[in-house]
């Protein structure tokens, strides 16, 4: 049962976020509704290969809730969502030099809201999770409103990669935008990753700048607007080369994700 699973999670010493959620409740009870907190520490995991049968992992966890911005007369009240926390976490991961090796994959987690959770992978190895706290857990802990959290194995990231510098190209960059329609369950991150892989020699930047659902897009599908930045370090790209690279990306998306260009 769900409640039993959540109760077990609350009692375990293998996670940090239980203490963080208690701190959120403490602050909310004192009218501090906009909370941003994190904690690093050890978790203790049974491991027959470790000394005394217990392995110690250095973990990093964080929680956010409440309004996106501090109260201001010129700003509308907006509640934080999944992408607020994901952006914060990506900023931290970028400092390790390993952000390019990180993937967020939609996965269920008993402590998180169904459909609003993801596992965090480093070069194919699962190192943590991120998502919205499960409604049942919110009620159990008396949390007030949507709360988001992440937890990951910091020891897998602590050996920071020193960024490699390279010469800035003297030749102009070219931007091309495409809008592709894909099934709702296709992660946008996979689309961006495929574009980077296909255009590895000339595509120097890929960005998702709009997601559309509605008129003109079939139910169960979404339209992703993506910008591709193309540039070469040795010469100015010809229009034919740019068009060929963009077409190659589109063809790869069609083949792997059954994507179609939006009219």
Q: How far apart are CA 245 and CA 204, in angstroms?
A: 12
Is the domain defined by 2-156 classed in CATH 3.20.20.80? no
CA-to-CA dists, residue 195 to 51, 99, 104, 202, angstroms: 45, 17, 17, 11
Task: Taking residues 83-96, report their average pLDDT.
Answer: 93
For 110-138, what is the mean pLDDT? 93
Which residue carries 């596992």 as its tokens?
119
The predicted pLDDT at position 215 comes to 92
Q: Buried b / exposed e across 199-228, counting CB within 10 Å, b at 16+?
A: beebbbebeeeeeeeeeeeeeebbbbebeb
Distance CA 46, CA 98 (A): 28
Tell me: pLDDT of 7 over 60. Answer: no
Q: Which of 39, 37, 14 is nearest to 26 (CA)?
A: 37
CA distance 262 to 97: 35
pLDDT of residue 1: 41
What is the fold, at CATH topology level, of the domain defined by 174-261?
A: Alpha-Beta Plaits (3.30.70)
Cβ(60)–Cβ(40) under 8 Å? yes
pLDDT in tens, 199-227: 777 899 999 999 999 999 999 999 999 99
Of 7, 161, 8, 155, whose CA–CA distance to 98 is shortest?
Answer: 161
* Total-model pTM: 0.72
Least confident stretch, 42-46, 104-108, 195-199, 255-259: 42-46
User: H-helix or E-strand containing 17?
Assistant: helix 17-28
Beta strands in the chain (DSSP E): 35-46, 54-65, 102-106, 112-122, 125-133, 147-153, 174-183, 203-212, 221-230, 260-261
CATH 3.30.930.10 residue ranges for the chain: 2-156
Say what the pLDDT of residue 138 is. 92
Per the DSSP assignment, residues forming a β-bridge with 229 are 175, 205
Which residue intervals of the chain bear CATH 3.30.70.380?
Answer: 174-261
Give the chain's mean pLDDT.
88
């Amino acid at each position: 049962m769900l409640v039993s699973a959540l109760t077990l999670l609350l009692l375990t010493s293998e996670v940090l976020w239980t203490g963080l959620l208690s701190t959120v409740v403490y602050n909310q009870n004192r009218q501090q509704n906009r909370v941003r907190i994190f904690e690093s520490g050890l978790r203790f995991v049974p491991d027959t290969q470790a000394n005394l049968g217990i392995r110690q992992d250095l973990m990093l966890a964080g929680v956010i809730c409440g309004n996106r911005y501090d109260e201001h007369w010129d700003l509308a009240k907006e509640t934080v969502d999944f992408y607020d926390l994901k952006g914060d976490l990506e900023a931290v991961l970028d400092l390790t030099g390993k952000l390019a090796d990180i993937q967020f994959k939609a996965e269920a987690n008993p402590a998180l809201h169904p459909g609003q959770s993801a596992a965090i992978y480093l070069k194919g190895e699962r190192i943590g999770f991120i998502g919205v706290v499960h409604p049942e857990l919110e009620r159990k802990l008396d949390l007030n409103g949507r709360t988001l959290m992440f937890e990951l194995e910091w020891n897998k990231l602590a050996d920071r990669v020193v960024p490699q510098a390279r010469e800035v190209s003297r030749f102009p960059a070219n931007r091309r935008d495409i809008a592709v329609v894909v099934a709702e369950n296709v992660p946008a991150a996979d689309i961006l990753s495929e574009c980077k892989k296909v255009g590895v020699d000339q595509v120097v930047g890929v960005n998702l700048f709009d997601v559309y659902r509605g008129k003109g897009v079939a139910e169960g599908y979404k339209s992703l607007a993506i910008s591709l930045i193309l540039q070469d370090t040795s010469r100015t790209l010809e229009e034919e080369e740019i068009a060929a690279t963009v077409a190659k990306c589109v063809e790869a998306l069609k083949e792997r994700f059954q994507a179609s260009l939006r009219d």
